Amino acid sequence: MLFLSDLLAFLIKYSMKNLEYNVAIVGATGLIGRKFIEVLEERRFPIANARVFASERSRGKTLQAFGRTLTVESLENNDFDGIDFALFSAGKEVSRKYAPLFEKSGAIVIDNSSAFRCCSDIPLIVPELNGDKVYSSDRKIIANPNCSTIIAITPLKNIYKNYKIKRLIFSTYQSVSGSGMKGVKDLLKTRHGFSGSYYPFNVAKTIIPEIGEILASGYTDEEMKMVNETRKILESDIKISATCVRVPTENCHGVTVEVETDENIAVEEVKKLMEFKGVKLSETPNFEEADGKDDIFVGRIRKSRVFDRGFSYFAVGDNARKGASLNAVEIAEFLVNATTY
């Protein structure tokens, strides 16, 4: 395929240039854009040159990143030649308009929005689960899944590989950072007695049992993201139900997962299968434990009381890291290092 041949040429080209890459961050002044920079720096991703893009109102501002001062650029009427990797987190409309332009200019785009996740010709990647699928398309856009999808299903890696999963039930507990800086600001304002402007309720004093637009089915678009993305990643028509809830915490998402399999799996075996690089067992997984960490923490593993052959667990992860920025950077690392999980 075209993408694979382009990728090989790309890797050969940079094997003669000390393995350094030209990287662009789109949405660099936002919550996830800043996390992209943080994670790239922490993991010492080999960057030759970096460019940062944001909205027109941020144009001309400066950011300190990668040991240099970077000036924020606007996407409008700009030139994207020479960029190897473009990490996008600026919303689906920006991605739909500009990701194909970066792609046309030769960049590999890793997009954190929902714009391309369910497109049949664009891979949707969690490296631990389906990293090999980055080579499956002739497109050079790769989609990053929804943060709750990543946290919910990554622990199923070895279950998925060794057993047939028949049904999944997700119940999420999603912090306000899932809404970006506007969600965090609303929480901080309402905690101090001021009125919020983003959420329809005082988020400091309640949970909100809907995230996103309510569809004709009664499910929200956030819930259907989890359903459709899980099916695509696991390449299965698994029966799935999801309920997504906003909770009054600043960061991290939790999710209860009820799993039905084709065979009975002992709880101790489930525990063994759920501990691997990137996933840690925890006696009581909680938001404080996961905040700022790269791992997903899993606990409360027990036999299902709903399914005869099934089990339940609770998973917690930092939605801004493994749920977004880290997963995107791991995709880039997978491409340049031929990483195996």
- Residue 186 maps to which CATH number? 3.30.360.10
Does any domain span residue 37?
yes
Could you tell me if 164 and 104 lie in one domain?
A: no
Could you tell me if 108 and 157 lie in one domain?
A: no
Report d(CA 230, CA 236) in Å as an integer: 8
Domain count, the chain: 2
Could you tell me if 97 and 158 lie in one domain?
A: no
pLDDT at position 19, please? 81
Could you tell me if 169 and 287 lie in one domain?
A: yes
Could you tell me if 176 and 265 lie in one domain?
A: yes
Domain that holds residue 253: 149-319
Could you tell me if 102 and 186 lie in one domain?
A: no
Does any domain span residue 57?
yes
Could you tell me if 205 and 301 lie in one domain?
A: yes
253 part of the active site: yes
Does any domain span residue 232?
yes
Could you tell me if 58 and 155 lie in one domain?
A: no
Active-site option among 147, 192, 244, 252: 147
> What are the C-alpha distances in Å from 7 to residues 101, 119, 145, 147?
18, 21, 22, 27
Does any domain span residue 325?
no
Does any domain span residue 128?
no
**Helices H / strands E in the chain, number of each:** 11, 13
Does any domain span residue 328?
no
Could you tell me if 104 and 178 lie in one domain?
A: no
9-62 per-position pLDDT tens digit:
555 554 534 489 999 999 999 999 999 999 999 999 999 999 999 999 999 999
Report d(CA 185, CA 46) in Å as an integer: 34
Could you tell me if 88 and 178 lie in one domain?
A: no
Active-site option among 118, 192, 244, 253: 253
Report d(CA 26, CA 6) in Å as an integer: 23
Q: What is the CATH number of the domain that holds 68?
A: 3.40.50.720
Nearest alpha-carbon partner for 174 in 203, 215, 213: 203
Does any domain span residue 298?
yes
Could you tell me if 170 and 305 lie in one domain?
A: yes
The answer to whether the beta carbons of residues 75 and 98 sit under 8 Å apart is yes
Report d(CA 45, CA 229) in Å as an integer: 28
Mean pLDDT by 10 residues, the chain (341 residues): 58 57 97 96 96 94 95 95 97 97 97 96 95 89 97 97 97 96 95 93 96 97 98 96 98 98 97 97 97 98 97 98 97 80 49
For residue 245, give both structure tokens. 């809830």
Could you tell me if 284 and 184 lie in one domain?
A: yes
Does any domain span residue 127?
no
| Residue 136, burial from CB neighbour count under 10 angstroms (0-12, 13-18, 19+) | middle
